[in-house]
Structure 1
């Protein structure tokens, strides 16, 4: 069994700690909304603060990724965990002052957010290559996508439960998790990654800009789907007279995605990464069309379950392709650039879907999702047809040596020309 083999590699304690380490990210946006709304009495201002936090995170994550590639995952993970704990504590303090200080504090909280997802995905790739098990990389990516989805189901539920203790409780719980889970998890990562650094004075390997920009836009499209679905579910629940059901409906969406992500570990090797990218972009479009149809047929819960299944496979294909495109010494910054598209797309989806929900209800909000998914599919087809080479695995040259290594991460100065890895 692929997962059984994977679980033996880092040790059992790595998995629960890694799951807890990502919960602050899964709770931060909603926790900020709850805290700032309680302090200001305004949903509009609370949304502005959450948007400032998300935008700052999109800016800060690539910076943290670049620093991690230069100075090691352990150091950057540790520093960001501690600074983010301080920033969130500052947000709680700012909630007792003025609006300007709350915006600044929310922005600092987003800017210092530890990039747990990119760090752990690169850690997996390096660890599995070092253990001579690169065949387990797809399984590791499937596991990480599943853990992400479960965290985004559990995160809002945790915030909801803790809010009953007071508006500051969710944010302070995130601080506790940063210190008790994210920090120890960061300390468990490889310390320096010296084998992936360029020699002193050597130029850094350039990032593949156009393919990476395509992956960023693909993630932004996925984020737009998320924002539209969140808004559509909220509008649907309000229109149904059961506003409290929005969280449960979105949980159904997340559970479906988590199950599909776990199943991706058993996809056959002959189903190539480029083929998966285009195929799962197409299934994502079908899933979002199901949401629109489900709204019209008053079957949104069933539609959410079906649509959720199409999410994680698409996300895994984006992570896998980005991991393969990135040079070995710049893998973390490449993944953080990819991830930065998510919050920007989510904010876009929420704004557009929110305007449509005001005038057309949940049907208008849900309609944004297939539009974004159509853009994602067109982008996937365009990348596949115009630059198929960008989707191929490269021969990775270890920095500081002339030894080529076949495998997932990195693009060499030359190409193998063999097509997709099988």
Structure 2
């Protein structure tokens, strides 16, 4: 397929030497801004749950509200990614920064003003619908820079390293986000995390939108912003299997944190759940970064199966845990599997994105994580409350099995002996 012509403003001029690395191309401030800008996204689900449970005294309504955030993201996230592909990230992100900040404040007012439950749920959907998915947008932006501005010989390794960094950054904020929510809620008030998230969204998502790299548009887009690939290519089996696999990872995050909280609450130490969860999160982030140094002969499809199998094996230990110590061992093992699995799935997403639609695919994957996390937390919370912690601890096993099963399907869909350089 021939590449559509591009005008001078379609993308930032190429570097003058082939030795220019991604850090040099994007600049250190970019990575700092992009890291902080994704923090509000990690605070939303837990922050919404905290406010509703505190103000309304209903864990059930809190779970439903968290699920409503995920619903909004599922319905609108990919559409926002498509808009970013079509019109560029800057305009889309600026609008979302303002809209999402306003929705977070509005939601807080609705909850504390005694609005009807339906209005609470509707405003929660609004939070998810306007959520500026910085992580997928960053992945798309960086992949575009790598593809358009770096020598072909270094692209595969650079993309693998970039996906590893991005996933490690996600792991860090998804662990630190709930921790920050807890600190703000305890030190100030239950509404403080959402107001804090609103401020961070306006300031740092706005800065992320205004960063010069937001001008980067794939060379595959023509002067009118149209892509050469058909929309139907977004629903190809190779893309959908990655979406299902990453949905399983999101479900794991949601069910594990919620069931772990219930597990520690049974022992009178629910406030320590975040510390134990950090054992998995920190290990996962470190292993995610380590993926970039795995040998090329260890193919992407083999990585998915291997690390999701470790995740599944670690989750099966949840059937045997009887103390915080044994829970910590299970979490450490699961941490070995979850980070590299996530990195590999995003690498497949980058490799299989239809021409000119990388932001759309990345937001599909980002939405999959949030939807899985929200629904997983809601179901696990309800099950823990009505059937006990033991029943809730089965849910992370099911989620890990979904990620592993998707890896099996992906193995069959992948070409023979796929490598990092050619998946």
Question: What TM bracket, shorter-length normalisation?
Answer: 0.7 to 0.9
Once the two structures are TM-superposed, the CA of residue 215 in structure 1 deviates from its matched residue by 1.3
Aligned CA distance change for structure 1 residues 306 and 20 (closer, same or farther; 3 Å): same
Q: How does 1:245-394 map to 2 (within 5 A)?
A: 245-295=272-322, 299-354=326-381, 356-358=383-385, 361-385=388-412, 387-389=413-415
**Local SS of the residue matching 2:321:** helix
Residue 81 of structure 1: CA displacement? 1.3
Asked if 1:242 is matched to 2:269, the reply is: yes
Structure 1 residue 300 displacement after superposition: 0.7
Query: 1:194 deviation in Å?
Result: 5.9
* Cα drift, residue 391 of structure 1: 9.3
Deviation at 1:370, TM superposition (A): 2.2
**Residue 107 (str. 1) matches residue 131 (str. 2):** no
Q: Which residue of 2 aligns with 1:98?
A: 115
The count of residues paired between Structure 1 and Structure 2 equals 393
Partner SS state of residue 357, structure 1: helix
The separation in 2 between residues aligned to 1:344 and 1:20, in whole angstroms, is 22
Contact 1:122–1:332 (CA under 8 A) maintained in structure 2: yes
Choose from 197, 217, 221 the match for 1:174: 197
TM-score (norm 1): 0.86
Kindly tell me: are residues 287 and 8 of structure 1, through their superposed partners in 2, closer, same or farther at Cα, counting changes over 3 Å?
farther
Contact 1:272 1:421 in 2 (8 A): no
Q: Is the 2:257–2:277 Cα contact (8 Å) retained in structure 1?
A: yes
d(CA) in 1 for partners of 2:33, 2:223: 34
What is the CA deviation profile of residues 165-211 of structure 1, one whole-angstrom value per residue up to 9, with x for unaligned ones? 12221111111111221110122133261623246688643425222
| Residue in 2 that maps onto 1:197 | 221
Report the aligned-residue RMSD: 2.5
Q: How many Å separate the matches in 2 of 1:165 and 1:358?
A: 28
What stretches of structure 2 of length at least 5 have no aligned partner? 1-19
What does the per-residue CA deviation read over 1:44-85, in whole Å, with 9 as the maximum and x for residues that have no partner?
Answer: 222222221121111111010010110112221222112111
Greater mean alpha carbon deviation, residues 294-303 or residues 160-169: 294-303
The answer as to whether partners of 1:6 and 1:139 remain within 8 angstroms in 2 is no
CA distance in 1, matches of 2:253, 2:241: 19
Deviates more, 1:274-283 or 1:66-75: 274-283
Distance across 2 between alignment mates of 1:276 and 1:151:
24
Q: 1:77 aligns with which of 93, 96, 102?
A: 93
Q: Which moved more, 1:106-115 or 1:217-226?
A: 217-226
Does 2:191 align with 1:149? Answer: no
Deviation at 1:233, TM superposition (A): 0.6
Tell me how far 1:313 sits from its aligned partner: 0.5
In the other structure, the counterpart of 2:244 is 217
Mapped partners of 2:383, 2:33: distance in 1: 40
